[in-house]
Structure 1
Amino acid sequence: MKSHRNLSPRSAERAERGLYQAILSLRTDDECRRFISDLCTPAELEALIDRWSVVAHLNDGLSYRTIHELTGVSVTTIGRVARFLTNGSGGYRVALERLGGPR
């Protein structure tokens, strides 16, 4: 993760925790859309959407090439998502399960 310029480690941790609390406070899709729209640049939002768009396809066992053809997301990005889906912190899995279970 990028280092926080002038924040002490404790302040950076507090800021990170505050971001997560802000996200958890959102109650609707529209609130979340508005918050993320304010938080992210268009390029950052596009990158997040690209990553999330391939998770279910990877979980379904589709090939990287097929996922690329379906989504237009680069094979490099698909590979990165696959690594985190398999060896990451488990966040993708939690979201998949809560949104309807592994497909």
Structure 2
Amino acid sequence: MTDESRIKSKQIDEFFDAVLMLKNKEDCYKFFEDVCTVRELHSITQRLEVAKLLKIRKTYNEIEKETGASTATISRVNRSLNYGAEGYELVLDTLIARDLERKKKNKK
């Protein structure tokens, strides 16, 4: 059984359809502020940051210090990176490249 078949449902399809209707970052803020608790949103964004740092080969200790994530969270994200549905891979290279570009611009 694939990860997709394990989570796929009519309700999740509808949720993803709703997310895809969002036009810009401001729409995302409004939607997710209503749909998620602040804690849920912070957890999701923390996991994405952990994934970025794992992808650029930071150590668990460095990631823990930088993000405040527990080693259990870091391990869970690492497992998803290695054995998951490759969802992180859809965005990580672009996010990392954007971060590097911003750092270059800030140094100038």
TM-score of Structure 1 vs Structure 2, range by shorter chain: 0.7 to 0.9
CA distance in 1, matches of 2:96, 2:69: 23
State the partner residue of 1:93.
89
Once the two structures are superposed, the pairs formed by residues 1-103 of structure 1 within 5 Å of their partners are 13-99=9-95
Please give the alpha-carbon distance, in whole angstroms, between the structure 2 residues aligned to 1:100 and 1:67: 15
More helix, by proportion: 2
Report what 1:8 is aligned to. Answer: none
1:100 CA displacement:
5.4
TM-score, length of structure 1 as denominator length: 0.79
Unpaired runs of at least 5, structure 1: 1-11
Q: Identity rate of aligned residues, in percent? A: 32
What is the aligned residue count? 91
Gaps of at least 5 residues in structure 2 are: 1-7, 101-108
- Aligned alpha-carbon RMSD (Å): 1.7
**Cα distance, 1:25 vs. partner?**
1.1
Following the alignment from structure 1 to structure 2, what is the Cα–Cα distance between the partners of residues 51 and 97? 15
Q: Say which structure, 1 or 2, has more relative contact order (CA 8 Å, 6+ apart).
A: 2
Deviations 1:26-70 (A, max 9, x none): 111111121111111122112112111111100001111111011
Q: C-alpha separation between the residues in 1 aligned to 2:95 and 2:56?
A: 15
